[in-house]
Structure 1
């Protein structure tokens, strides 16, 4: 049995790339000092997110997956597995993307599929949810609004993910905003999605989020690690910082699925419109 120490970040990021890299470097060193093997940074932590979702927001700086900015991130990661959000340029298209790196290079990329409000005016949409192998196990990545769709995490679980890293720049409500961010309806919905997706699929859920305000956005923070039973085991609440937890991932996932195995007991023949591949328990 081996344990993995993991951390989800709540922190602010903006357009100043050097400032972003300085903050990322400090967070990586803090996590490394705490024995963390998997660090999940927020959506758009390289260059910041959109200032609003009205359809006319200026884009952040865009980078290629094979470019020097992602190589710099990998160099900072070293022997740690690090997930980070960035604006990706690929051909004629721009995506809201997440990359997973170690010092050896890029392990995986996810392009945000589900686009809230007018985010589609700024980014092209991704078209898949997959899992991939890393030194800390098989993981999936999602970005923000993706967590609101149960099929996304289910597809990754069926592809063998035992950890899903959900990177967000999730704001509080734009209308009727609650004065206490913890009680804001969109903060509460995010927390429910994080817990439900872990429980739905009996896996470990590591959810980062941006902190503070950017343009018209006020972010909900609330970075957390959720166990396969849907319980929050580490949480920043509405503060900046790291939510750190340690698991034997295989053991906790196997234990959760040892009785009622939600993946094994699916009946995809009764809901064919959702698609999906039959699951075979290990």
Structure 2
């Protein structure tokens, strides 16, 4: 059995694509120097997120839409080299739609792509919605990806686990509370929920969980950072806190999953025939 060194990033990204690539290159090179083999960058790290979740289209044109087979994703793959790198971007769909997407690459090219399914508040005014969750094989194991609000729905991570994902990677641009925000982000209720979702999704599916997030401010949004690596028991192995940083942890993934599932196997012990929608019971 061999250990995998993995990392999740909390950092700031904006509209300037060249600056975003400079930050991404620095983070990838720093991770390479620490022998990291799997690196998760945040949602919308190539081109930035929306300036607001209310009326973003009125504030600017949004992030640049990039083709999955275009030069920017090839550039990211070239930077990744022998590493497996996950990064969020705005995807130009073949039908002219724009998707909030996350891609997984190595130097050999694209390994997987996910379009955000669940859209909070006014995000659907800027992006079309994805329609599935899937897992795929990579040099570091079988991975499933999701984006930000996707993780608020247990079915998202469960679909990935049932598809054989050993590692769930969730990239986010998760902000603090919009109403009654805490002066200290450490005490923000949306930061607390972000952390709870990360630990719950890992524990209930008994998978390794990487959570990357943006930091700083962008438009009206103030991001909570808190990138982390969580083990299959729901324990946080590394966490950046609310500031920019990289959470790095080393784990034998196959052994960790085997150990977590040995006695209490949450996937094994499911009773799907009982999970039907119960009708209303009359008095």
TM over 0.5, shorter chain = yes
Q: Which residue matches 1:34?
A: 34
Q: Which residue matches 1:69?
A: 72
Rounded Cα–Cα distance in structure 1 between residues aligned with 2:56 and 2:22: 29
Q: Which residue matches 1:11?
A: 11
Q: Which whole-Å deviations, capped at 9, do the CAs of 1:8-43 have from their partners, x for residues lacking one?
A: 000000001111000000000000000000000000
2:240–2:246 CA contact under 8 A, matched in 1 = yes
Alignment partner of 1:94 out of 90, 98, 101 = 98
* CA drift at 1:56: 3.5
Q: Tell me, what secondary structure is at the counterpart of 1:256?
A: helix
Rounded Cα–Cα distance in structure 2 between residues aligned with 1:106 and 1:7: 19
Task: Please say if 1:161 is aligned against 2:165.
Answer: yes
1:32-181 equivalent positions in 2, closer than 5 A: 32-57=32-57, 58=60, 59-91=62-94, 92-181=96-185
2:50–2:56 CA contact under 8 A, matched in 1 = no
Query: How many residues were matched structurally?
Result: 274
TM-score (ref. length: structure 2):
0.96
Rounded Cα–Cα distance in structure 1 between residues aligned with 2:277 and 2:130: 20
Runs (4+) off by over 6 Å: none
Rounded Cα–Cα distance in structure 2 between residues aligned with 1:205 and 1:106: 21
Rounded Cα–Cα distance in structure 1 between residues aligned with 2:75 and 2:181: 38
Q: Which residue matches 1:241?
A: 245
2:14–2:47 CA contact under 8 A, matched in 1 = yes
Rounded Cα–Cα distance in structure 2 between residues aligned with 1:272 and 1:14: 44
Q: Tell me, what secondary structure is at the counterpart of 2:144?
A: strand
Q: Tell me, what secondary structure is at the counterpart of 1:85?
A: strand
Q: Which residue matches 1:279?
A: none
Alignment partner of 1:207 out of 207, 211, 217 = 211
Q: Which residue matches 2:272?
A: 268
Q: Which whole-Å deviations, capped at 9, do the CAs of 1:220-256 have from their partners, x for residues lacking one?
A: 0000000000011100011111000001000001100
Q: Which whole-Å deviations, capped at 9, do the CAs of 1:126-183 have from their partners, x for residues lacking one?
A: 0001100000000000100000000000000000001000000000011100001011
Q: Tell me, what secondary structure is at the counterpart of 1:272?
A: coil
RMSD: 0.9
In structure 2, stretches of 5+ residues that fail to align are 279-283
Q: Tell me, what secondary structure is at the counterpart of 2:203?
A: helix
* CA drift at 1:273: 4.7
Q: Tell me, what secondary structure is at the counterpart of 1:208?
A: strand
